[in-house]
Amino acid sequence: MALKLQTKSGRAIITACMLSVLALGGCSKEPVELESAKVLINMDKGSGNFDRVLQICFKKPITSEYYHTVVILTKESVKVSGEGVLRPLASDPDNKCQLKNIYSYIHKDSPIGARQLIEDYVKPGNISQVLIKVYADKPQGKERPISEKVFTDL
């Protein structure tokens, strides 16, 4: 949506996005809506690096970068949490789904042996809940997500 403003002399035309940059520091991103989530296994054909992948699907393909947080809870109460950037897929711009390596959610606060816990417990049919929150940018405090959904019994 480009809102055009003109001065009395007819010289200056400013779009709504340019006004946003001047007043707020940036243009807002298109809203996104989460549609589904699924844990996929053995996508790597044996290397072990991509044997646990989270597929996050939206109603429409994303066209901007977004930040997301994920909390995966298994039926044995193993909890995996992490965060990262979701980028538009340059090689497949019409794809509504993003694939995220679950091992990439391991961080300094993860338990010792987190990789083995993921391998043993994070698999299809053993997930009780997945909470996904999507933000326009990395949250700095108490920002609200632009999309949030809990998926159960995956």
DSSP one-letter string for 43-93: -STTSSTTSEEEEEEESS---S-EEEEEEEEETT--EEEEEEEE---SS-T
Instruction: Average the pLDDT over each of 38-42, 60-64, 73-77 and give the range with the smallest value.
Output: 38-42
Residue 127 has pLDDT above 50, yes or no: yes
pLDDT for the residue 146: 95
Residue 46 has pLDDT above 50, yes or no: yes
Residue 19 host element (H or E): helix 16-24
Cβ burial of 68 (10 Å; 0-12, 13-18, 19+) is buried
Task: Report the C-alpha gap between 77 and 17 in whole angstroms.
Answer: 45
Task: Report the C-alpha gap between 37 and 66 in whole angstroms.
Answer: 16
Residue 138 has pLDDT above 90, yes or no: yes
Which pTM does this prediction carry? 0.78
Confidence of residue 47 (pLDDT cuts 50, 70, 90): low
Contact criterion met (CB below 8 Å) for 134 and 34: yes
Query: Mean pLDDT, to the nearest integer, of 60-86?
Result: 95
State percent of the chain over pLDDT 90: 63
Residue 134 has pLDDT above 80, yes or no: yes
pLDDT for the residue 153: 84
Domains by residue range for the chain, with CATH:
1-28 (no CATH), 31-152 (2.60.40)
Residue 141 has pLDDT above 90, yes or no: no
Residue 2 has pLDDT above 80, yes or no: no
Residue 145 has pLDDT above 90, yes or no: yes
Number of Cβ atoms within 10 Å of the Cβ of 15:
14
Query: Mean pLDDT, to the nearest integer, of 103-132?
Result: 93
Residue with the bigger pLDDT between 77 and 3: it is 77
Confidence of residue 28 (pLDDT cuts 50, 70, 90): confident
